[in-house]
Structure 1
Amino acid sequence: MAETMAGTEADLARVLSRHAPLVIAVSGGVDSLTLATFAGRIAPVTVAHAVSPAVPDEATRRVRRLAAQEGWTLQVIEAGEFADPDYLRNPLNRCYFCKRNLYARIRSVTAGVIAAGTNTDDLGEYRPGLAAAGENGVVHPYVEAGMSKADLRGLAARLGLDGIASLPAQPCLASRVETGIPIRAEDLAFIDRVETLMRAAAAPGAPADLRCRLTRDGVRIETSEALSDATLARVTALCREAGRSWAGVAPYRRGSAFVARGGR
């Protein structure tokens, strides 16, 4: 295993050397933070992080902390997707419009090669953002090096990014809104508030997969562990305070708000 991983890292290093000068689009999740850390320990690296109502504040704080620690050149930009009516109407391919705006904004501030944290596991999923990446010449070093999600988590651990290596999947807050329900900044702020509350209340070491979904039936909590009565009471109280319908609790299921019932 050690020899295999050493070879994988050597492959990734060779891929990165082909794409200099590199600008890494960093969201604040394990994939892009690991890529930036690995690249930055080989050569100086520029990192672009986009802020918007769809990006949790904690993700931005995580990027800033690691940038200061690792000595990256950090460019924080406005993502710009909230000025795009195609994005706001939340169609099935919403991610395409999000990434189209993101990469255009990054391109406006740099001439470097834009790299993303896409890994081989992502290629088997519906990822409309990959089309926007292709249109903007974005490269995917993990894919070129044949690295999966498990591979990059192992790399993160070897780089000493222990807290980051174990981060759960953290897609943008807009992914919690059922397809076809318009994206609104106040809805995303509510989602972030509820999920922050639930994470804080979770038992140490408990499974971290949880989502606050906005559906046509109301707010639905999805979690891979049982909510305590106290946490459930606090969540339902937040819903009442915000004037939102309560749709109950269900087991966590990845992407369950992505497609609305009855079509797009």
Structure 2
Amino acid sequence: MTVIDKIQALETVLQQIGKVTVAVSGGVDSMTLAYVAHQTLGDKAKMVHATSSAVPGADTQRIQKYAKQQGWQLELVQAGEMQNSAYRSNPVNRCYHCKSALYSTLTTIGFGQVVSGTNLDDLSDYRPGLIAAKEKAVRHPFVEADIDKSTIRLIAQHFGLSDIAFLPASPCLASRVETGVFIQPEQLDLINRVETSLRKQINAENIRCRLLAQRLVLQIDEDKLSTLHEVMINNIIADAQSMASEVGLSLPVDVAPYKRGSAFVRVA
């Protein structure tokens, strides 16, 4: 099937649903879904974005920019996950508690069917948030239209959304915290500040500041990391240590190649 066929299949799913609240995180999946939902349903599509210390400010700004440019109905909410001790204790299924809070909040808004940017590729990954979605009867139009991540990027390109079509994956900031390490807002802010600083210095697709129990690990795409001089590596380590000290953390800082999901302890 062509990209046009996939777009038509997605539009058909949305038309059948009729009225939607789109959970918009700011990544390519939810942003593309929001765009197509608005194009297809007009004022019967509402975008809702949950702000918290776990959400990078750049994501919120991106959503607000698009809402203004495209005329989206946009509502910012606080889902309240930071008040949930089960979430902040950071178990392996932390995402379940986050998404449960999010989808409960979106359901309460009462604007049609809650939909997410989940795609086919997500179904093969460990995503406890999908359990929360099922419990709250959230629908996934990309899945229903048989669309995967690469096709979403093609759809975004088709509509000229070049600034989001090539966005790298950007899970919430809490995903950088090692499983079992208690989540604290000031530490999430530290992670965001360090990653923002690194992106200004290094043109890499994937950059992560991972907070482990005994250290910080700055991860950079291996091909980019291999080109960095020792002086620059020492400088970014010193900068990260300085920012960490501002929130009361005195931890060693390592630099390593990017590895997806390496702050998690996976279920056996």
Offset, 1:258:
1.3
Query: 2:3: which partner in 1?
Result: 5
> Is 1:117–1:142's contact at 8 Å kept on the other side of the alignment?
yes
Q: Supply the AA of the counterpart residue of 1:168.
A: P
Q: Supply the AA of the counterpart residue of 2:30.
A: S
Q: Where does 1:86-235 land on structure 2 (aligned, <5 Å)?
A: 86-202=86-202, 206-224=203-221, 225-226=224-225, 227=228, 228-229=232-233, 230-235=235-240
Tell whether 2:48 aligns with 1:48.
Answer: yes
Tell whether 2:3 aligns with 1:16.
Answer: no
Partner secondary structure for residue 75 of structure 2: strand
> Is 1:239–1:246's contact at 8 Å kept on the other side of the alignment?
no
> Is 1:219–1:244's contact at 8 Å kept on the other side of the alignment?
no
- The whole-number CA distance in structure 2 between the counterparts of 1:244 and 1:58 is 27
Q: Supply the AA of the counterpart residue of 2:169.
A: A
Gaps of 5+ in 2: none
Partner secondary structure for residue 40 of structure 2: coil
Offset, 1:38:
1.1
Gaps of 5+ in 1: none
Partner secondary structure for residue 248 of structure 1: strand
Tell whether 2:245 aligns with 1:248.
Answer: no
> Is 1:222–1:249's contact at 8 Å kept on the other side of the alignment?
yes
- The whole-number CA distance in structure 2 between the counterparts of 1:117 and 1:244 is 38
After superposition, give the CA deviation of every residue in 1:162-194 in whole Å (9 maximum; x if it has no partner).
Answer: 011111000000000000001110110000000
> Is 2:18–2:41's contact at 8 Å kept on the other side of the alignment?
no
Offset, 1:160:
1.2
**Alignment CA distance shift 1:43-1:234 (3 Å):** same
Partner secondary structure for residue 179 of structure 1: coil
> Is 1:178–1:258's contact at 8 Å kept on the other side of the alignment?
yes
4+ residue segments displaced more than 4 Å: none
Offset, 1:69:
0.8
Q: How large is the RMSD of aligned CA atoms in angstroms?
A: 1.6
Offset, 1:241:
4.4
Partner secondary structure for residue 2 of structure 2: helix
- The whole-number CA distance in structure 2 between the counterparts of 1:34 and 1:64 is 14
After superposition, give the CA deviation of every residue in 1:123-145 in whole Å (9 maximum; x if it has no partner).
Answer: 11000000000011100011111
Equivalent pairs, count: 257
- The whole-number CA distance in structure 2 between the counterparts of 1:74 and 1:212 is 30
- The whole-number CA distance in structure 2 between the counterparts of 1:186 and 1:240 is 11
Q: Supply the AA of the counterpart residue of 1:231.
A: I
After superposition, give the CA deviation of every residue in 1:56-108 in whole Å (9 maximum; x if it has no partner).
Answer: 11111111000111111111100210111100100000000000000111112
Offset, 1:240:
4.3
Percent of counterpart pairs with the same letter?
A: 43
- The whole-number CA distance in structure 2 between the counterparts of 1:240 and 1:138 is 41
Q: Supply the AA of the counterpart residue of 1:220.
A: V
- The whole-number CA distance in structure 2 between the counterparts of 1:137 and 1:150 is 26
> Is 2:14–2:40's contact at 8 Å kept on the other side of the alignment?
no
Partner secondary structure for residue 178 of structure 2: coil
TM-score (norm 2): 0.92
